Amino acid sequence: MKILVVEDEEAIRNLIVINLQMVGYEAIGVEDGLLAKDFLEKESVDLILLDIMIPGIDGFSLIEEIKDYNIPVIFVTAKESVLDRVKGLRLGADDYIVKPFETIELLARIEAVLRRYNKDTPLIKFKHLGVDTNKRIVSSNNKEVYLTAKEYDLLILFLQNKNMALSREQILDRVWGFNYIGETRTVDIHVQRLREKLDLKDYIKTVFKVGYRLEE
């Protein structure tokens, strides 16, 4: 999957690109609307992360100029007023996320938009594992392994956020939901089960006082 990041602040642009690359996306960053337009005339991408206040051509104008390309767009911007959000969505943006944001939230929004466009791959591979996300079948060394619903959701969360430290609270929110009432010990128990069932002891690392990380 190729993602174009259009952001004029170099530090933010580089951070987004690096985080996308860490989880397996091909990410390209440009700093203004003119460069973005030129790039899109020559290259195809699967999704655009677009700031609004950028030099050359602002984000609102750029999305209108590329609407015929049928590329999903997520606005990533500091403009947080309701009017700006409504304008962005009416112009054709698929989502709108306000800075500052957590990387895990940005990745979740990207995944959701790609699913709507049927651009997400149904097969995920990691080391000795294979996951068919359409059939929810998990195999380890080519042998199918039964996982509970929460174990499966937790595995997918790790696979979609490789090399990123996830706190126990973030994991609870993403797998069990914001309304879950329970202890973070639940996360530890499920992580231990994944390590044992899928032989991931060497790959799911404990991040001291934070949570866990799936390392390649």
Close Cβ partners of 23 (under 8 Å, ≥ 6 residues apart): 107, 160, 161, 162, 163, 164
CB 215 within 8 A of CB 201: no
Output the pLDDT for position 121: 63
pLDDT band at 198 (very low <50, low <70, confident <90, very high): very high
Report the distance separating Cα 9 and Cα 101, nearest Å: 15
**Backbone torsions φ then ψ of 139, nearest 5 degrees:** -125, 145
Q: What is the pLDDT of residue 133?
A: 82
Superfamily of domain 2-116: Response regulator (3.40.50.2300)
Structure tokens at 51: 């700031």
Q: Give helix 10-22 / helix 103-116 axis angle, nearest 10°.
A: 60
Tell me how crowded residue 1 is: count the other CB atoms within 10 A of its CB. 15
| Global pTM value | 0.65
pLDDT exceeds cutoff 70 at 3: yes
- pLDDT tens-digit map of 34-79: 999 999 988 889 999 999 999 999 999 999 998 888 899 999 988 8
| Other CB atoms within 10 Å distance of the CB of residue 16 | 21
Domain 123-214: assigned CATH number: 1.10.10.10
